[in-house]
Structure 1
Amino acid sequence: MSDKHLINNLSTLVALRNSELEKLQAEQAAKQMTAERYRKNLARLHDLAVNSGASGNLPIALAANCGNYKQAVLAMADSHRLDLTMHEADMAVSQQALTRAYVKREVLGQVLEKNQKALAGKVAVQERKVHDDLATQLWLRGQK
């Protein structure tokens, strides 16, 4: 495989890794926004439970209703906490995938850079050889 062909293939692979990395970053950002929504909902549910007032001063039917309301809000908050915990675990797995994709992209980028430098070195050597040959020919012509 020629050096130029290898560099083209590596460039394509780096571009693919970049697009994969961008996709994973976008997914991670969306998951972070979802986690933030969970946290805000939990804060609102906590405020609803706390601000519903004391049920001890109310008539028995209203106190029972207020108690049931608080229990329902607290149960919903517990459900949200569980969902948030599961979502954060999913985010951790996604972060690991993002890190692996970043490492793959960096490794390929370094290989591409190394091959580009090697090809540039070969081209420079060939150019110097051509210039040296031309200079030698000119010098030899001048000697005649």
Structure 2
Amino acid sequence: MTIKNTIDSLDTLVRLRSTKVEKLQADMAAQQATKARYQANLARLDSLATGSGASGALPLALALNCGQYKLAVIALADNHRTDLSLHEATMAVSQRALNDAWSERQLLGQVLEQKKGVAELARNRTERKREDDLATQSWLAGRK
């Protein structure tokens, strides 16, 4: 495989890894937005539970209704907290995948730059040799 083919292949790999990183970043942004929604909903649920007032000061039927309402809101908030914890665990896995993809992309980028440098060095060497050969031929032609 020629150095040109190697560079082209590495360039394609770097672009593919960059696309993968961008997709993972977009996924992480969506997950962050979902987390923010969970947190906002939890704040609202907590506000609803505390804002319903004391149920003991109400007549018996209303107190029972208010108590059941608070229990339902608290249960919903607990379920939401559980869902948020699971979502945060999923986010941690996604963050690790993003970090791994980014590292792989950076590594491939470095290898690509190294190969480009090697190719440029080889081109420069070839060009200098060609110029030296022309100079030698010119010098030899001038001696005759």
**Structure 2 counterpart of 1:27:** 27
The residue correspondences of 1:45-124 to structure 2 (distance < 5 A) are 45-124=45-124
Distance 2:34 2:87 in 1: 8
Amino acid in structure 2 at the alignment position of 1:104: E
Per-residue deviation, residues 67-104 of structure 1 (Å, max 9, x unmatched)? 11100000000000000000000000011111111111
Identity fraction in percent: 57
> What SS does the corresponding residue of 1:115 show, helix, strand or coil?
helix
1:143 shift after superposition = 2.1
Aligned with 1:114: secondary structure? helix
What is the CA-CA distance between 1:142 and the residue it aligns to? 2.1
CA distance in 2, matches of 1:57, 1:115: 79
Alpha-carbon deviations, 1:109-135, whole Å to 9, x = none?
A: 111111110000000000000111111
- Does the residue aligned with 2:122 lie in a helix, a strand or coil? helix
Give the aligned residue type for 1:31.
Q
CA separation in 2, counterparts of 1:32 and 1:64?
39
Report runs of 4+ in structure 1 exceeding 3 Å deviation. Answer: none
What do residues 25-72 of structure 1 show as CA deviations (whole Å, max 9, x unaligned)?
A: 100110011011000000000000011111121111111111111000
Q: Partner of 2:40 in structure 1?
A: 40
| Corresponding position of 2:13 | 13
Distance 1:30 1:137 in 2: 67
Q: Distance in 2 between matches of 1:103 and 1:75?
A: 42
In the alignment, the residues of structure 1 paired with residue 62 and residue 115 of structure 2 have an alpha-carbon distance, to the nearest angstrom, of 78
User: How many Å apart are 1:14 and its aligned residue?
Assistant: 0.5
Q: What residue in structure 2 maps to residue 140 of structure 1?
A: 140
Structure 1 unaligned blocks of 5 or more: none
Aligned length: 144
Q: TM-score, normalised by structure 2?
A: 0.97
Alpha-carbon offset, residue 141 of structure 1 = 2.1
Q: Secondary structure at the match of 2:54?
A: coil
